[in-house]
Amino acid sequence: MNNPAIQAIGVARMPEIAQGDDIGSRIIEALRTGEITIVDRDVLIVAQKIVSKAEGRTVQRVIRTFNLFDFFQGSYQ
């Protein structure tokens, strides 16, 4: 075996994943767009987030705003 190495390459043009998307096809498309070649013994790591998004297992994020002065006003008097 010649000089083994570990190299991490991010896929810069990975499209946004939506429910029902075929993740494999999207990854291959992004790799081709980025001119990244996969060879024998390469390992691809996929974030759980895109798997969850493709499966429709997401929750809506709620953003709440408040005034810090009003929030702490009762605590410091």
The residue ranges of every structural domain in the chain are: 1-77
Q: What is the pTM of this model?
A: 0.64
Decide if 22 contacts 33 (C-beta within 8 A): no
pLDDT band, very low/low/confident/very high, at 69 (cuts 50, 70, 90): confident
Q: What is the pLDDT at residue 49?
A: 92
Averaged pLDDT for residues 1-8: 78
CA 73 to the chain's CA centroid: 39
Q: What is the pLDDT at residue 52?
A: 94
Q: Which DSSP string do the residues of 16-49 spell out, in sequence order?
A: PP-TT--HHHHHHHHHHHTTPPP-TT------HH
Which helix (H) or strand (E) covers residue 68, if one does?
helix 68-73
Separation between Cα atoms, residue 21 and residue 65, nearest integer Å? 33
At 18-63, the pLDDT tens digits run 999 999 999 999 999 999 999 998 999 999 999 999 999 988 877 7
